[in-house]
Amino acid sequence: MAVGNAKKQVTRDMSAGDKRPVKPLEFDGPLPRPTRDMNQIRADLDRAGYAIAAEVFSTAKAQEMRNFLAAEIDREEAIDEERVRRFYTDNDDLNRRMSGAQLVNRHPFFRDILEHELPLHITREILGPQTLDESYLVHSYGANVTRPGSAQQGIHRDRSGAIPLSAGAAQTRFIWCLDDFVEENGATRMVPGSHRDIEPQSWTVQYESVPAEAPAGSVLIYTDLLLHGTGANVSTDLERAGVIVGYCPPWWKPMINFPMTTDPDVLKGSSRILRQILGYSSVAVGFEEPWTYAPKAVQDLIVPPEMEW
């Protein structure tokens, strides 16, 4: 049963033809709201499974980066639309995506946010200490832009079904809001409390969910335990750009092989932390495996794996 300031989705978003049974929200109490208070963020993550960090970056920066991203997507689309749409997780052709492999190469902002202290500290708190204190890694990275008419994404977890939920969070997730996220433009839908579910996610039910509404400059925070999905954009004129980053422990295989996809020039002078989280260490779980055949420019970027923070 939805309570507090919960907004139900199922009555308005689901197509009339969708006959799947509805799984109602079973979450009590107020929903997370944008906050700058770290203790509130921790409490929301614990209670609801997600939190909304407010004013992490300026609205001017958000505007600049959403314009930059739009121009980059236009540029790709002019070459081949398939580069920026029809990602296999999406239900329609209207939203646009750009891989983090490209983002990293194209603007310092998209490198800087990866090593921002907010996601790093939350990741340390949630994923906990690592063997030999080796660095967490950027597991997945990309931009998702909803556009008028784009459909809701199926509610899901950002997690392999092979990892039992009882194993706890394997990934921290952060959505950097470059636009205001409102229900109308497809704010990410969350199923509060689902981080405590013990049953796997199912495609045969409709999960009741709520929109995580947040002003541009906010960061939505959740883990791979939480059920969520991109909202439907039911507006006629609003786009919604979000940049999604996931971090994992050093023994998981990241979705992007950054040392193979990143222009070494953009990492000249970069911090040890950024190189560590992008996977520029030839040591893993204590074993040195020399990158014998990597180009010299890539070898020059290699750093030790231990976190200094």
Residue ranges in contact with Fe ion by CB under 5 A: 158
> Which of 84, 273 has the CB closer to ligand AKG?
84
Report angle CA 89, 191, 214 to the nearest 5 degrees.
Answer: 85
> Which of 145, 273 has the CB closer to ligand AKG?
145
Residue 276 binding: pick among Fe ion, ligand AKG, none (C-beta 5-8 Å cut-off by kind): none
How far apart are CB 295 and Fe ion at their closest, in Å?
A: 34
Q: Is 250 a binder of ligand AKG (CB under 6 A)?
A: no
Q: Buried (b) or exposed (e) across 5-42, using 16+ Cβ within 10 A?
A: ebeebbeebbeeeeeeeebebebeeebbebbeeeebbe
> Which of 176, 258 has the CB closer to ligand AKG?
176
Unique residue bearing structure tokens 């790709």: 76
Q: Among 9, 99, 188, 233, which residue sits at the site for ligand AKG (rule: CB under 6 A)?
A: 188
> Which of 163, 298 has the CB closer to ligand AKG?
163
How far apart are CB 159 and ligand AKG at their closest, in Å?
A: 10
Q: Which ranges in the chain belong to alpha helices (H)?
A: 10-13, 38-47, 59-79, 100-106, 109-112, 117-127, 258-261, 272-277, 296-299
x-marked contacts with ligand AKG along 228-247 as a string, rule CB under 6 A: xxx-----------x-x---
The three-state (H, E, C) secondary structure of 134-171, written as one string: ECCEEEEEEEEEECCCCCCCCCECCCCCCCCHHHCCCC
Q: Is 144 a binder of ligand AKG (CB under 6 A)?
A: yes
Q: How far apart are CA 229 and CA 155, in angstroms?
A: 5
Q: What is the total count of residues that contact ligand AKG (CB under 6 A)?
A: 10
Task: For residue 156, report the phi and psi dihedrals to the nearest 5 degrees.
Answer: -155, 175
List residues bridging with 246 in a β-sheet: 140, 173
> Which of 89, 257 has the CB closer to ligand AKG?
89
The Cβ of residue 180 has, within 10 Å, a number of other Cβ atoms equal to 18
Q: Among 5, 67, 89, 131, which residue sits at the site for ligand AKG (rule: CB under 6 A)?
A: 89
Q: Is 183 a binder of ligand AKG (CB under 6 A)?
A: no
The secondary structure element, H or E, covering residue 248 is strand 240-248
Residue 144 binding: pick among Fe ion, ligand AKG, none (C-beta 5-8 Å cut-off by kind): ligand AKG
Q: Which residues bind ligand AKG (CB under 6 A)?
A: 89, 144, 153, 158, 188, 228-230, 242, 244
